[in-house]
Amino acid sequence: MVANWRQLAALAGSEAGAVVKADAYGIGIEPAVTALSGAGCRSFFVAHLSEGIRARSVAPEATIYVLNGLLPGRCAVYAEHALSPVLGSRDELAEWSGFRATGAAVRPAALHVDTGMNRLGLQPSEALDLARGHDAVAAAGIGLLMTHFSASEDEADPASERQAADFATIAAAFPGLPASLKNSSGHFLPDCPSYALTRPGYALYGGNPTPGRANPMRQVVGLEARIIQLRSVEAGAQVGYNGRWTAPRRSLLATICLGYADGYPRNASGTDALPGGTALVGGVACPFVGSVSMDLIILDVTDAPSAARGEAVTLLGGPLDLEAVGAGAKTIGYEILTSLGRRYGRRYVGL
């Protein structure tokens, strides 16, 4: 993870922050922030106030931005933990400015301008109106201007070029104010400015920021589970809840102790109609058969000679990267990573 952060910082040529929302994309805020802080990262982005408080506990000097903005009546909690809200509406600006006017000691906030997501942030016209007045921005103590790409992973999508151009106009209206545009995939867009601060997230954790091309990032997360039972079934045997998979031959099946309660999607089920997920058993790719259960998954290990009770099988790692696992579960790697459950035993390497 640290190597990925350093690679992205070198590509950006400016300060690289780190997005550690969603429990650092499932791997744990505290260990992620601890490792990245130790490597020199000084700016972190979370989604929720509670995540910011957790990050602050291990990064006492860092700047920590809360992307989801300011909930009514919570200014004092941001101040208590020295957190910076990302303000995206006039209501938020007014409330934060009023709190600052009381003399409260707060960290600089960020101003979010929506250039194409239609999700959070001021409209560009609203931001330009603020720039002409300056008073509102000064009253809110804005220290960073940002927007968010909607399709930066697709280099051919013209939306990124439009958003970058719109943001350039807005940034020019706020001379001297540090700005942030690039997310993970933005680091690989040609001619995309880095501004003062970039915000890599998914790529830090090994996700591919350039879909359709070789992944330039190192893998960060591995996932294993153990075989708890083996059984042979005859051709025609139906497997799992509702018998959704039928053995086409005499088959050896292995049941592993992991299921959707651990965050592994039920959509990875292997049925007669559609293939599902895959695990590696002694390096051999073995398909999921039948429905993914709450606590268990069944594999067809007929072609895996090393399959044995107690053997660890790989569900994420090596050729089973986040994108491959996501495809097998008919979803995206982001969802696989952020859904990692609480029951896993976690071992952090390098801390």
pLDDT in tens, 77-116: 999 999 999 999 999 999 999 999 999 999 999 999 999 9
11-16: list long-range contacts, CB under 8 Å, 24+ apart: 11/187, 11/188, 12/182, 12/187, 12/194, 12/198, 13/194, 14/194, 14/195, 14/196, 14/197, 14/198, 15/42, 15/43, 15/196, 15/197, 15/198, 16/41, 16/197, 16/198, 16/200
Q: What is the pTM of this model?
A: 0.95
For residue 275, tell me if it sits in a domain: yes
Q: Residue 351 pLDDT > 90, yes or no? A: no
Tell whether 163 is covered by a domain.
yes
Confidence class for position 348, pLDDT limits 50, 70, 90: very high
For residue 8, give the nearest of 232, 172, 204 by alpha carbon: 204
**Tens digits of per-residue pLDDT, 308-343?**
999 999 999 999 999 999 999 999 999 999 999 989
Find the CATH number of the domain harbouring 295: 2.40.37.10
Same domain? For 138 and 270 the reply is no
DSSP three-state, residue 60: coil
Answer whether residue 291 is part of any domain. Answer: yes
CA–CA separation, 201 vs 21, rounded Å? 8
Same domain, 83 and 188: yes
Backbone phi, psi, residue 212, to 5°: 90, -10
Percent of the chain with pLDDT over 70: 100
Residue 259 banded pLDDT, cuts 50, 70, 90 = very high
Q: What tens digit of pLDDT does each residue of 30-55 get? A: 999 999 999 999 999 999 999 999 99
Statement to judge: residues 199 and 270 lie in one domain: no
Residue 134 has pLDDT above 80, yes or no: no
Chosen domain end from 171, 205, 239: 205
Question: What are 188-197's pLDDT values in tens digits?
Answer: 999 999 999 9
Rounded average pLDDT over 228-236: 98
Determine, yes or no, domain membership for 316: yes
Q: What Rg, from alpha-carbon coordinates, does the chain have?
A: 23
Is 349 within the bounds of a domain?
no
Q: If you average pLDDT over every residue of the chain, what do you get?
A: 97
Does residue 217 lie in a domain region?
A: no
Tokens of 41: 């990262």
Token readout for 333 is: 């790697």
Are 295 and 173 in a shared domain?
no
Contact 110, 87 (CB under 8 A): yes
- Per the structure, the complete domain to which residue 263 belongs is given by 223-338
- Our count of domains for the chain comes to 2
Q: What is the dihedral of CA 283, 285, 288, 292, to 10 degrees?
A: 50
Looking up tokens 């993914």 gives 292
Percentage of the chain surpassing pLDDT 90? 97
Mean pLDDT of 270-275: 97
Please list the active-site residues: 21, 241
| Among 138, 173, 205, residue at a domain's last position | 205
Q: How far apart are CA 251 and CA 237, in angstroms?
A: 9
Please report, in angstroms and rounded to a whole number, the separation of the first and last CA atoms in the chain: 11
> Three-class SS of residue 43?
strand
Each residue of 216-233: b (16+ CB within 10 Å) or e? Answer: ebebbbebbbebeeeeeb
In a domain, 197, yes or no: yes
What is the rounded CA–CA span in Å between residue 295 and residue 283?
23
133, pLDDT greater than 90: no
Judgement on whether residues 174 and 262 belong to the same structural domain of the protein: no
Cβ-contact 100, 139 below 8 angstroms: yes
Compute the distance between CA of residue 70 and CA of residue 287 in angstroms, rounded to an integer.
46
